[in-house]
Structure 1
Amino acid sequence: MKRILFALLLIQLSGCDTLDLVPVSQRSVEGFYRTPTQLNQAIMGCYNGLRNALVSQQYSYMLTESRSDNTFQSLDYNDGNITRFSETSFLPVLYTAWSNSYNKIQRCNKVLEELPNVSLSEDLARQYEGEAKFIRALLYFDMVRFWGGVPVVTTSLTIAEGYAVSRNSVDEVYQQIEKDLADAAQLLPASYDNANRGRATRWAAKGFLGKVLVYQSGYPLNKNRWNEAAGFLKEVIDSGQFEFFESYAAIFRHQNEWGRQSVFSLAFKSGAEGEGNSFPTRNAPNFISRTEVPFGGSPYQLFLSAGLLESFEPGDLRKDAAITSQWTHTSGEIIKTMPFSRKYLDGPVAAANDWDINWIALRYDDVLMLYAESLNEIGYDGNGEAFSILNRIRHRAGLKPKTAVEVSSQQAYRLWMESERRWEFCFENQRWFDLVRTDRALEVMTAFLKGYGLEAAMQSRDRYYYPIPQSAIDINSKLIQNPGYE
């Protein structure tokens, strides 16, 4: 996959920048989609767009991890406003996220439109359709969690059409995501050869479909889709294609980047015109010794909250695997007051922000824990599989198992799951989304912000979503602003 991905990437498939708020067709590419090779290049462009949206762009963590109680940024960067809940519709990172997302969605739409015009084998045509729908679903999955209802656009638009789109409801966006993933699960192959590894499989589609159904069962839709979610997640578990790593730290090592702990990963390669992974650099302190982090860290690093550090149970192996508590300044001083995330800080690196290590977009552990959560929502069982799964997670972390005596109800299990997911997936851009879907964000973040004198900042559940970027509204007045930001 890496060989294909980085030889053919960076084909521009979208319209001019001023129209990025919605997908707009680009007449200059009309002659491009004619051969199987060109179509494969276009699919690689879709994967590149997904990597960009979920990892490479700074908004991928600014709008997720920086929003949660895992971090706190006091300076006036974009994520400084986000972490203090003081953002407005004029915040630049919001328009970047909005326009980039639709830019990448347009790539998928264009592939799907041109697919019938290219002579392909039936299997390859099905695969390309499944890949484009899978990627489009993941892009919309982030958008609906950032802004709530957004315009659902599944075709290329003319300029006039782009100015006229309006917002769909949250339910309608999820319906499109679910449809795309369900289609992908039917269209995609179960596996690929090594030359094509990293492409989406039917298991990746089913895993994300299960996750999307979990989210629909939570805030704001509160649909009871737990049985369906459990069914898809169980299919992934029963497939035998994936592995529970007995070492937590090993999940994020370069030597295991194609390991079976990953249901779906985004491929990165250093030394290939900016196609490396920026995640390890941006989490490290700006003035860290080059002997500890080659080429140093970033001024935009995630600053970890004391609340997260203090929340780990004594002896939890995940803490040291995920966090570096002590490091050396370029001056030689030993710093003990600025811990940072060390996840994925491994493997070849060609320059700052240019690491050769994949990003796991869906971990097998996530599938297991979402399945356990679904089982608990279907019915609490103090001796059931939901307990076994979380205790397996705890055993790997070096912690004692919990029993029904300690976790004696469905609600108690929910809070246990919330804590385990915080520790398990810290710095993987999940904590904020978890708090919102369980409708715990208002309570948790109000208490967290109180420690900084900002308890009034988390005004209501309106803050579960970001404001629609003002520049998008200025271009298209049909884009009605989210409540609380007028």
Structure 2
Amino acid sequence: MIKQSYKNKLLTTVTTVILLTGLAGCKKYLSIDPVSSFGPDYVYGSVSNAESAVLGAYACLGGDQGYGIRLSMYYTYDNDEMMGQEGAADNERRDIAHYNTQPSNTQLANPFNQLYRGIERANQSIYFIPQMSLYSSGTANEQSRLKGLYAEALVLRAQFYFELIRNWGDLPAHFLPSSVDKDLFKTQTDRDTIYNRILNDLAEASALLPWRKSAGYSNERITQGAARALRARIALFRGGYSLRSETSSYGPVMARPADYKNYYQIAKDECAIIMQQSSEHNLNPSFQSVFKDALNKYLEEPNGEVLWEVGMAGGSTNFGDSKLGYYNGPRYTGTASQGNSALTVLPTYFYLFDSTDTRRDVTCTYYNINASLQLVARVMSDMVDGKFRRDWNPITTSAAQYFGVNWPVIRFSDVLLMFAEAENELNSSPTPAAIAAFEKVRTRGYGGDASKIGTTPATYTAFFEAIMKERSLEFGGEGIRKYDLIRWNKLGEKLNLVKTQLAAIVANQAPYDQLPKNMYYLPNQSMSTGMVWGNSFYKPTPATAPTGYSTLAWLGGSGITNKIIGSFARSFEPNMRELFPFPQAAIDANPNLRQNRYKP
């Protein structure tokens, strides 16, 4: 299914909802200037207008301040897979990536405000749609559509709160429109209270939403599978570790609740329900196809693997669009260089992949594209991410920054691995069902060849380690890893491990002492052919290059030292940097908002 028609509808309805209502924010720093005198009686006077209002809440997911770049490619780094843009402190994206975020950072306030703007828009629909006469006395079709819209708004609000919590922790909680809730200057509510509320909301929404095939719209909108998958994800975070100040008299600590297994049970149950709907959601047999043939081509993934993706409206403006493929990924080096290639794949991550794992060359990219549309090799220290790359998109040579590529919120492989993780935790060892779910993901990663996946661990600790690794191999570059490491209380450990491993690569120490110092490659290869290498990435370099092959200084230890080691996670401190400080503008606007602990 081609998605572009929905993108055009989204642009139209976003404009409509702003014209229909003055969507006031809950605080000064969240306010939206009203542009019309139309009120809720008009906005929620028909099904079509109510739909426009809900789509207006969807709009707060995209654009520069949403998953178009900041929430997807600034806030999610550094982790043990990839590094944000290297360089000196800038009180901007580099400081965010390398854990030196200050309240004055220029990249904090607008995303924070946009997430709360989404909450306000969702709150209006959640509040007013059930009051519509058509909600209870309309035709069966009208009632069904309105209940579905109400449920979509519940899920959207949950997603907005989830993103806020995982970046800022305890928050001011608003569950009514600002026109109804007169207490607009709230202090923080404990995140567990907010989590409990949105988990209940998601349970309610799931019962009202259709499954994918009967929904009648693309997966840019929320269906029952997406709502249940999101509930499973949030339940794991509710039961996971997070940075908490109230649990210790001597300062913030990472802690998880004593009843954490209750939330693993929720995650397991929700994933099991989705897994039973195999005709609705399943893995694409080809890992590459999910990205190359669907997301990067503006097409619906046919197997339902992508349960929900943020719809980005391609165009010349940044409203509701994305910079996927411009900010990240390989660069077009034609008459003028196009693209930032700002995210660096860590050499240690590249070598986490087995040589026959098909996910490696989807996730990691070691080339640029020249003016002749031929591939030019990159050295190991200069690899970039590859799931959203311009040469998998019709706009390879475009000078534009906004490509309209959608951001996947959650995929079915995540459902399988969450199920496996929860089963292991609840039973203190992997059950046959957990192993089957784990191996389904892993086998797909090896092109469907189960003989290559090795033996799955049968003990609790070893299986958990395998889950951590598999989630890294499966979801690299999808904005998941940093937050997984935080909920497992593994962030500091893994960042330090990477630093040790990078030093070992530079020093040519085991287990990296057999890496090739040079790679031989066939020059002038087309995008359709791909890079052709003349030797293995996993063995020392042969003395002689094959005829016709060029030599690339692959290892380049000085490149790792100069580009990566000096920047990677350089300011991270445990029990300090797992959360952002609140934007200074938010603190200034709300006298009851307490600043998160941070280091000036």
TM-score where L is the length of structure 1: 0.88
1:312 aligns with 2:324: no
Please give the residue correspondences for 1:114-193 in structure 2 after superposition, counting only pairs within 5 Å: 114-120=128-134, 121-157=142-178, 161=182, 164-191=185-212
- The answer to whether the 8 Å contact 1:72/1:305 transfers is no
In the TM superposition, what whole-angstrom CA distance separates every residue of 1:265-324 from its partner, at most 9, and x where no partner exists? 223343486554421222135x52359xxx964337212222222322222211111222
**Contact 1:89-1:485 at 8 Å conserved across structures:** no
1:297–1:134 Cα change, 3 Å: farther
User: Is the aligned partner of 1:299 residue 2:321?
Assistant: no
Q: CA deviation at 1:187?
A: 1.9
**Deviation of the 1:465 alpha carbon:** 0.9
2:560 maps to which residue? none
- Give the 3-state SS of the residue equivalent to 1:417 in structure 2: helix
Match of residue 415, structure 1, among 442, 462, 465 = 465
2:80·2:495 contact (CA, 8 Å) conserved in 1?
Answer: yes
Query: Which residue identity is paired with 2:386?
Result: R
8 A contact 1:66–1:79 mirrored in 2: no
* 2:426 equivalent in structure 1: 378
Tell me how far apart the structure 1 counterparts of residues 367 and 348 of structure 2 sit (CA, whole Å): 18
Q: Which amino acid aligns with 2:355?
A: P
Residues 162 and 54 from structure 1, CA distance in 2 versus in 1: closer, same or farther, beyond 3 angstroms?
Answer: same
* 1:370 CA displacement: 0.5
Structure 2 partner of 1:473: 587
Alpha-carbon spacing, 1:72–1:308, altered in 2? closer, same or farther (3 Å): farther
SS of the residue corresponding to residue 361 of structure 1 reads: strand
How far apart in 1 are the matches of 2:231 and 2:218?
21
**RMSD over equivalenced CA pairs, Å:** 3.1
1:46 aligns with 2:160: no
C-alpha separation in 1, matches of 2:175 and 2:167: 19
1:15 and 2:21 matched:
no
Aligned-pair CA distance for 1:436: 0.3
Counterpart check, 1:85 vs 2:99: yes
In the alignment, which of 320, 324, 328 is matched to residue 283 of structure 1? 328
Q: Distance in 2 between matches of 1:428 and 1:270?
A: 20
1:69–1:305 Cα contact (<8 Å) kept: yes
Residue 403 (str. 1) matches residue 408 (str. 2) = no
**How far has the Cα of 1:22 moved from its partner?**
7.2
The Cα of 1:94 is off from its aligned counterpart by 1.4
Distance in 2 (alpha carbons) for counterparts of 1:375 and 1:333: 44
C-alpha separation in 1, matches of 2:77 and 2:37: 38
Give the AA of the match of 1:394.
R
Q: Which amino acid aligns with 1:172?
A: T
Displacement of 1:186 after TM fit?
A: 1.8
Closer/same/farther in 2, CA of residues 195 and 25 from structure 1, 3 Å limit: same
1:261 matched to 2:261: no
The equivalent position to 1:217 in structure 2, one of 235, 239, 256, is: 239
Instruction: Give distance in 2, aligned partners of 1:227 and 1:137.
Output: 19
Q: Where do residues 311-390 of structure 1 align in structure 2 (5 Å cutoff)? A: 311-329=352-370, 334-337=376-379, 338-345=382-389, 346-349=392-395, 352-381=400-429, 384-390=432-438
| Alpha-carbon distance in 2 for matches of 1:73, 1:322 | 17
Q: Structure 1 residues 61, 455: CA separation in 2 closer, same or farther (over 3 Å shift)?
A: closer
Offset, 1:408: 4.8
Matches of 2:464 and 2:204, distance apart in 1: 31
Return the match for 1:431 from 481, 486, 500: 481
- Paired with 2:499 and 2:356, the residues of 1 have a C-alpha distance of 27
Instruction: Please say if residues 363 and 386 of structure 2, whose CA atoms lie closer than 8 Å, have aligned partners that are also in contact.
Output: yes
> What displacement does 1:4 show?
3.1
Amino acid at match of 1:413: F
Counterpart contact for 1:261–1:364, Cα < 8 Å: yes
CA spacing shift, 1:104–1:382, aligned 2, 3 Å? closer
Give TM-score, length-normalised by structure 2. Answer: 0.73
Q: Distance in 2 between matches of 1:105 and 1:357?
A: 24
Shift of residue 364, structure 1, vs aligned partner: 0.6
> How far apart, CA to CA, are the structure 1 residues paired with 2:36 and 2:177?
11
More helix by share: 1
Q: Distance in 1 between matches of 2:212 and 2:84?
A: 40
**Aligned equivalents of 2:34, 2:180: Cα separation in 1:** 8
- Give the conservation status (yes or no) of the 8 Å contact 1:289–1:329: yes
Report % sequence identity: 21
User: In terms of mean alpha carbon deviation, does 368-377 or 119-128 score higher?
Assistant: 119-128
Deviates more, 1:300-309 or 1:237-246: 300-309
Compared with structure 1, are the counterparts of its residues 155 and 467 closer, same or farther at alpha carbon in structure 2 (3 Å cutoff)?
same
1:276–1:97 distance in 2 versus 1, CA, 3 Å = closer
Deviation string, structure 1 residues 423-447 (Cα, Å, up to 9, x no partner): 1100100000110011101211233
Q: Distance in 2 between matches of 1:86 and 1:265?
A: 30
SS of the equivalent of 1:334 reads: strand
Secondary structure of 1:86's partner? Answer: coil
Letter in 2 for 1:418: M
Q: Which structure: larger Rg?
A: 2
- Range moving further from structure 2, 143-152 or 178-187: 178-187
Mind listing any 5+ residue stretches in structure 2 that lack a counterpart?
1-5, 135-141, 243-255, 503-564
Contact 1:375 1:386 in 2 (8 A): yes
